[in-house]
Amino acid sequence: MTIHPTILSVPAPEGLQPRCAEARTRVVSNTPVNGEYHLLTLDAPAEVLACQPGQFFQLLCPEPEGEHPYLRRPMSIYGYDAEAGQLQFLYKVTGAGTRGLATLKSGDGLNVLGPLGQGFTMPAERKNLLLLARGVGLATLAPLARMAQQQGRRLTAICSARRPELAMSVDLFLSYGAEVIVVHDGDGSATPEALRSVIEAQIAQGRVDAFYTCGSARLLRLLQELGAKHNIPGEVAMEQQMACGLGMCQACVRSFREGDQVVHRRVCREGPVFPISEAIA
Amino acid sequence: MKDLQNTPPCDMGVQIGGLRLANPIMPASGTFSEDLSDVFDLDILGAHVLKTIMRDARAGNPTPRVCDLQGGMLNAIGIPSKGIGYFRDTMLPYWAGYSAPLIVSISAHTMDEFAQLCEEVTLPGVAAIEANISCPNIEADGRAFAMRPDTTEQVMTRLRAATDLPLWAKLTPNTGEPVEVALAAEAAGADALVVANTALGMSIDVRTRQPRLGNIMGGMSGPAIKPIALRMTYQIARACSVPVIGCGGIATRDDALEFMIAGARAVQVGTATFQSPTVMARLVAELSDWAAAEGLTSIEQIIGTVTAPTGGHS
């Protein structure tokens, strides 16, 4: 196994306050979760820990056996704790980059760039939040749930998965005081039709001032439809293949509605969080 | 290694025609924007080279626009551009806030459009124009003006007539006649040659059997293409008298030195910034430390100092 050489960060010139930094972190632990996912915990310097829920990092993944990923891999933040000096990512092994991440052991170094992008917003009037995501998409919503609890907002988290035991972060959302509803493919409760009834019931009980979601085009379309019908705002964290993560290369554009126009926005810079009403699934 | 404390600093400035750069490190077009100011002070660079602009607003290519490879990447971004008005009214005032010389990269589909744009970007605050006559994504099958000496000379002649600013030509590694193309650009009045742009390539996802780029083909960049760009830099610097600016896979201090020893007066750093956004800041510092430790008084002393192989019979 080859690890990319250490890259030292350049000190910020005096007077310049960098929004993000390239930093060397150290692996505290990297453990399997639920059979499908891994939880990576890093010791990270303060310069990269002023994060907002919904932001992401670009990880310089080590090279797994026989593979040579060149570009960094974007990864949404699962947890950050400036006091403890720790940063967490929850990932599923899907390609060369995440295969490389899975080789990391306690004590190994990892070069990270971040925090990047625009995070979720929570205007004061949004007192009752509905979080909906499937699979590893729930990881992106975890820091938002934590912040919502700290601010005394009421949370409902709908966790979707193939099987109930694969539903991610249920205990974490419970610990943040959320009412958790698990839906899965086995009993048909995760279909858009079934979810529509569940969410409509939540709306009828006055439990939804805003939607927050991540990842799934099907779920995004459902929330766009329900948001338009009930006049409920919402935000979605989106994904796209990236190169630089800073906005320079313009690789990660997606289309968005802006009035009666369709415009391109960079997921890394203008996003990854966008208004649900403007996103195009 | 000499004691750096007691070594006088080396003059890192380089001359590119009439333009003096504070050091030889600058970004490659398309890999640089104001967004990088989040990471370091952009004024430490020798110059600022902007992403190619075209006259009219363009959306760019379908996604995926990039794919990852061993030692580099492929891209087919497709030059999304907000057009000349946005450049003049928004970008130019922003970059005027920096002291590093501003190099504006331009491109077009036709010679008329190219010449018109060249005239339109000849504005106060622009230090030089880099004519992207080599972007392989623009025309069908990756053809570009810089593929042939005759089309290179024709377009560069038109651009030369359209501006009094220093005019750089960015050449392509996709031609079989790099020296002839370089000589044609020089004959038409280019003040410097940027060697080179990306190499046309392709990648297929075996599982889906689909190309890994939305545009099917794209430009290969990164450390994997460095030997090709270095070879062209050597060939062209020997054949031409105008300054050559090396570009292709530069990621380390020694990469930059190789290009300068081969004959480049300055270098552009591109894809390496995507892997490490602080790389250019490191190269500026490391090159300066190296030159001082070597006892150079000017970094220009290393330009074109490549020697003959010692060789021997086997």
Domains of chain A, with CATH numbers? Answer: 6-116 (2.40.30.10), 128-240 (3.40.50.80)
Q: Which residues contact A146 (CB under 8 A, 6 or more apart)?
A: A53, A79, A176
State the average pLDDT over residues B266-285.
97
Per-residue model confidence (pLDDT) at position A135: 86
Res B66 pLDDT > 90: yes
A60 and B276: CB-CB below 8 Å?
yes
Mean pLDDT of chain B: 93
Three-class SS of B123-158: CCCCCEEEEECCCCCCCHHHCCHHHCHHHHHHHHHH
Is residue B307 situated within a structural domain?
no
pLDDT of B140 > 80? The answer is: no
Name every chain B residue with its beta carbon within 8 A of the beta carbon of A96: 68
In chain B, the percentage of residues whose pLDDT exceeds 90 is 86
The answer as to whether B314 is a domain residue is no
Q: Is the pLDDT of residue B156 over 80?
A: yes
Q: Report the C-alpha gap between A90 and A29 in whole angstroms.
A: 12
Q: What is the Cα Rg of chain B in Å?
A: 19
Contact A241 B73 (CB under 8 A): no
Q: What is the C-alpha to C-alpha distance for residues B183 and B169, in angstroms, rounded to an integer? A: 11
CB-CB neighbours of B191 under 10 Å = 20
Residue B171 is assigned to a structural domain of this protein: yes
- Known catalytic residue: B10? no
Dist CA A30 CA A26 (whole Å): 11
Average pLDDT over residues B129-136: 88
Mean pLDDT, residues B7-36 taken together: 95
User: Are A227 and A276 spatial neighbours (Cβ–Cβ below 8 Å)?
Assistant: yes
A173 token code pair: 């959302």
Which tens digits make up the pLDDT trace of B86-101? 999 989 999 999 999 9
B278 in any annotated domain: yes
DSSP assignment string, B268-303: EE-HHHHH-TTHHHHHHHHHHHHHHHTT-SBGGGGT
Report, as ranges of residue numbers, the positions in chain A whose pLDDT lies below 50. 1-18
Write the pLDDT tens digit of every residue in B188-228. Answer: 999 999 999 999 999 999 999 999 999 999 999 999 999 99
Write down the residue that tokens 């927050």 correspond to. A212
Number of domains in chain B: 1
Is residue A125 within 8 Å of residue A209, measured between CB atoms?
Answer: yes
CA distance A177 to chain B (A): 36
> Has residue B250 been placed in a domain?
yes
Kindly determine whether residue B282 and residue A243, on different chains, have CB atoms separated by under 8 Å: no
* Predicted pLDDT of residue B142: 54
Q: Which of B72, B212, B200 is nearest to B136 (CA)?
A: B200
H helices of chain B, where?
Answer: 83-86, 92-95, 111-120, 149-162, 178-187, 226-239, 253-262, 271-275, 279-293
Measured CA to CA, the distance from residue B300 to residue B154 in angstroms comes to: 32
The reported pLDDT for the residue numbered B314 is 65
pLDDT digits 0-9 by tens, A213-251: 998 899 999 999 999 999 999 999 999 999 999 999 999
More confident residue, B300 or B144: B300
Domain that holds residue B195: 4-302
Q: Furthest-apart CA pair in chain B: how many Å?
A: 64
- Mean pLDDT confidence for B276-294: 97
Identify the closest residue of chain A to B58 by CA–CA distance.
Answer: A264
**Distance, CA of A275 to CA of B37 (rounded, Å):** 27
CATH number of domain containing B160: 3.20.20.70
pLDDT in tens, A87-131: 999 999 999 999 999 999 999 999 999 999 999 999 999 999 999
Tokens for A255, please give them.
């289309």
CA–CA distance, B126 with B131 (Å, rounded to integer): 13
Sign (positive or negative) of CA dihedral B154, B159, B161, B164:
negative
Tell me what pLDDT residue B192 has: 98
Contact residues on chain A for B285, CB-CB shorter than 8 A: 10
**B38/A113 CB distance under 8 A:** no
Q: What percent of chain A has pLDDT over 70?
A: 94
8 Å CB contact between B128 and B121 = no
Give the residue on A whose Cα is nearest the Cα of B66.
A251
The predicted model scores a pTM of: 0.92
Answer yes or no: is pLDDT of B59 > 50: yes
A263 or B280: whose pLDDT is higher? B280
Measured between alpha carbons, how far is residue A27 from residues A4, A7, A33, A89 in Å?
Answer: 15, 16, 16, 11
Distance from C-alpha of A78 to C-alpha of A237, rounded to nearest angstrom: 13
Q: What is the pLDDT of residue A4?
A: 30
Two tokens at B93? 């005032």
What is the predicted pLDDT for the residue at A19? 78
